[in-house]
Chain A
Amino acid sequence: MLQYLVILLDDTSVAYCHADNPLKKHNLIPVETLKKGIIFGMKNNLMIQYVFPDYRLPIEYHKTIESIDNVKICPINQIPDTGLDNENESDVEVANSVPEKVKANNLVLRLKFSEILTKKDEISKLFGKHYRLNICITDVENFTDEDIEKYQQLLNNWNIILLDLYKEGETPQLNILTDRMMLDKMHNCDAGVNNITLAPNGKFYLCPAFYYDEKMKVSNQMNHHKPSSDNSVGDLDNGLNIPNLHLLKLDHAPLCRNCDAYQCRRCIWLNRKLTWDNNTPSHQQCVISHIERNASRDLLNKIRGIGEFMPDIDIKEIDYLDTFDVRKEF
C-alpha cells in the first residue's frame, strides 16, 4: 500500500540512495505542479517527502511546501528555506563525504565501498550521535568476492564500537548493523509499492533513479515496450499506472521472499541495472546484505551478553551469503 510521495523539487535534487543524480541543470518543479502533487498526496493519504536541491527555492514555493505536513531531505548543511522559522530544518541530511557537523535527525552517508574502507575510522565517530546513520554504498555493482572479507572485517570492527556504546546505555542506529536486530520481517525500499516519486515534469516514477535514467537516456529497457524510452508510471493528470505492479512485491520475488536479510534495501533500480529484472537481486546485493545480516547477528549475540535485548528476534546461523546458492531448484 502506498504511504509516501517523494517529490523531487528540482532536477538537481540531492541523490539520497544508491543511484547518483547525474542531472546538473536546474529545472525547478513548476509551482502549479507542486500544488497538484501535494493534493494528490492528500487525496491518497500519502506522507510527502520533499527532496531539495542545493540552492534556495524562490519565495513563492515556501507557503506551498508547508501547506502539508512533510519530511525534508536535503544536501548536508543546506537550510531548506521554506520561509517558516520553525520549519527550516531538514529531517534527513545527505552527505557524499564524512561530515563534520550534522543538524538533522537522520544522516544518509553515500560513499563508494573503497571510500568506506579508507574512511572507516572517521565514519565510526558518527556512531551514537543524536541522529540515525544510514550508510549507502554507491557502487554496489563493483563489489567483488574479494571484498567480502574486507567488509566482514570492517563490520566486525564497527560492532566492537557499537557494543561499547550499548554498554554505555546508548542505542546507536546504524542501518547496516542495527536495523536487522529490530526486524522480524522484510523492511525494504518497496519503491512503487510503498512509495512513489513525482518528478518536476509532473510524471510519476518508481523512484528518482528511474527519472534520472530517462533524462539521461540510459536505457529503454526499464519499463514498457521497446518503442518508448519513457520510464514514467503515470502522471498528475491521469493518476498512477504501474504495469505489473504485483511483480514489484515481495511475494513475487523468488529469492527475496525466502530470505531473512530483512534490512536489505531490495533496490529495484539496482536489480534492473544488474539483473534486468525488477525483483531479482544481483549477486552483489545479496552478498552485501548477508554480510550485514550476519554481522547484525554477531552484534545481537554480543549485546545479549550484557543483558536481555530483543528477545523475540532470532537470527539463525547460515552458511551462505547469496540466497541464489540455496534456492530451490526445479
Chain B
Amino acid sequence: MDFMTSIKKTSNSWQSGMAKNITFIVTKDCQLACKYCYLVGKNETERMSFDVAKKAIDYVLNNRKLFNEDSVIWDFIGGEPFLEIDLIDQICDYIKLQLFEKHHPWFNSYRFSFSTNGINYHEERIQNYIKKNHDHLSIGITIDGTEKKHDLNRVYKKTEKGSYKDVVKNIPLWLKQFPFGSTKVTISSADIPYICESVLHLFSLGIHEVNINCVFEDVWKEGDDALFEEQLMRLADKIIDDGLYEQNACSFFNDNMGKPMDCIRDNNNWCGAGKMLSVDAAGNFYPCTRFAQYSLRDKDAWIIGNINDGIDQNKLRPFLTLDRTTQSKQECIDCNVASGCAWCQGENYDAAQTHTVFERATAICKMHKARVRANNYYWNKLYRKLELEDMREQYEANKREVKSEIC
C-alpha cells in the first residue's frame, strides 16, 4: 500500500461521516491565547466534573433512538483538552465499560478524538493515556507552520511568548505514534504572507496532511485576497514542481471546488451543527461547541437541553432543516464559483442581524474567490504535468478526498 493510499484509508473522515460526534468541553482554559481564537470567553473556572460527564454519557447511551448512528466519535475539546487528562481518562474508561455492559453497537465502533496545541503532549500522564487507548485515538496537533508564522498568533496567555518551540519538539513523537497525523492551520489577515513557507515547513516536518482554512470572522483587509492568491500560486508551483503532491495533501487545493451549484441538487448545509452534540461543564447541551457562550461575541448561547432534562428536540429543528439556499444571499446562490465556499453556523449566528442561523456570513467571499483562482491554476498545472508524464490515471486512482476542515 503506497503512502497516499494509506493516508486515504486513515483519513479524518472516519466512518465516512456516518458517526455521531459527541463533544465534551472539558475545560475552557488553555495555556495559549491565540490571537485568532474564536473562543472569546475562555476561563480557568469552568472545568467539567466527572459527574456531569457521566450523566451526559448515560443520557446518550440510554437513548439509542435519538443516537442511532452506527459509530461514535467522542470528541474532547477545550481550551486545551489535555489539561484535563485525568478526567478524560476516567470518562473514556466509563464509556468503554458502559458500551460493554450495555452490549452497545458502538462498543466496536468508537473513537476518541482530540485537537490539541501539543504543548504537554510528551507528559507521562498523557502518554499513558495514549498507550492505553491508541487504537481508538485520533489526535491532531495544531501547528501553524514556520516558527514566525506560528508565533505570530499562537502565544502563551501569561507571557505572550510564542509556543512554536514547545510544540515542534513533540511532533516527532506524535508522528511516530500517529504516522498519518494531520494538522490544522488557521489563516487570519496577518498570516497571509507566511502561507506558502508554512505549508512547506509542515510537509518537511513529516506532516503530510495539512488542513488549512481562513477564519470566517470579518477580519479581512483591502488587498488580502490578492496577497492570498499570490501565496497560493507560489505554494502550487512548489508542490507541483518539487513533486510534493505525491506524498502530501493541502486542503487549500481541491478539484471539486469553484463550480456553480444547483439549487436543488446541491442544497446541503455545509456545517454539521445540530447533528453533533456538545456538552459543557454546566451540563448544558449545544448543537455544536460554537454555540456555547464562550464561543459567542454578540449572542446568547443556543442551549438545546441539558444532562438532566435531555435534548429539547424543538430547539434542534432549525439546524436539521437548514439548507444552503435558504440561508444564502442571492449573490451566493448565483455565484459561479460557489462550491467549496464554506461557512460556520456558529459564526453565522453570531454575526447575524437577528437571532437566527439562517443568515449566512459572507466575510470570507473574496478570499474564497482568490482561493478558487489559485486552485484552478494548481489543478490545470498538475494535470498537464501528469498527462505529459503519463501518470494521471495512477494519480487519480490514489488521490485522496481532501477534507475541508473548517472547525
Contacts and interface: CB of A to CB of B under 8 A. Distances in A.
Interface of A: 220-227, 243-244, 247, 252, 254-255, 272, 274-284, 324, 327-328, 330
Contacts of A247: 354, 356, 358-359
A276 B355 contact: yes
A255 B352 CA distance: 21
A275 B354 contact: no
SS of A interface (majority): loop
Nearest to B264: A328
A278 to B, nearest CB: 7
Interface in B306-353: 313-315, 317-318, 320-323, 326, 352-353
Contact of A224 (B267, B320, B353, B358): B353
Contacts of A243: 353-354
Contacts of B322: 254
Contact of A283 (B299, B313, B323, B326): B313
A280 B302 CA distance: 15
A252 to B, nearest CB: 6
Nearest to A247: B358
B318 A275 contact: yes
Contacts of B318: 275-277, 280
16 contacts: A224-B355, A225-B298, A247-B356, A252-B326, A254-B321, A254-B323, A274-B314, A275-B315, A277-B358, A280-B318, A283-B313, A283-B314, A283-B317, A324-B321, A328-B323, A330-B269
B300 interface: yes
A223 B359 CA distance: 13
A225 B359 contact: no
Given A244-B358, A277-B317, 16 more contacts: A221-B300, A226-B300, A227-B298, A247-B354, A247-B359, A254-B321, A254-B323, A275-B314, A275-B317, A277-B318, A277-B355, A279-B358, A280-B317, A280-B318, A324-B317, A324-B320
Nearest to B268: A330
Nearest to B321: A254
B372 interface: no
B358 A330 contact: no
B357 interface: yes
Nearest to A273: B314
Interface of B: 267-269, 298-300, 302, 313-315, 317-318, 320-323, 326, 352-359
Contacts of B314: 274-275, 282-284
B317 A278 contact: no
SS of B interface (majority): loop
A277 to B, nearest CB: 4
Contacts of A283: 313-314, 317
Nearest to B351: A225
Contacts of A284: 314
Which of B300, B314, B320 has the most CB atoms of chain A within a 10 A radius of its CB?
B314
Contacts of A276: 302, 315, 318, 355
A243 B321 CA distance: 21
A222 B357 CA distance: 13
B313 A244 contact: no
A272 B300 CA distance: 14
A236 to B, nearest CB: 22
A247 B318 CA distance: 12
A223 B354 contact: yes
B129 to A, nearest CB: 37
Contacts of B268: 330
A275 B317 CA distance: 7
Contact of B356 (A277, A282, A328, A330): A277
B326 A272 contact: no
B299 A278 contact: no
A220 to B, nearest CB: 7
Nearest to B302: A276
Given A275-B314, A277-B358, A280-B317, A330 B300 contact: no
A221 B300 CA distance: 7
Nearest to B353: A243
Contacts of A225: 298-299, 353
A255 B319 CA distance: 12
B326 A327 contact: no
A330 B313 CA distance: 18
A95 to B, nearest CB: 29
Nearest to B270: A330
Nearest to A285: B314
Contacts of B352: 244
A222 B355 contact: yes
A275 B314 CA distance: 5
Given A247-B359, A283-B317, A330-B267, A224 B326 contact: no
A328 B266 CA distance: 12
Contacts of A324: 317, 320-321
A327 B353 contact: no
A222 to B, nearest CB: 7
A226 B350 CA distance: 10
A223 B353 CA distance: 8
A254 B315 contact: no
Given A254-B323, A254-B326, A272 B359 contact: no
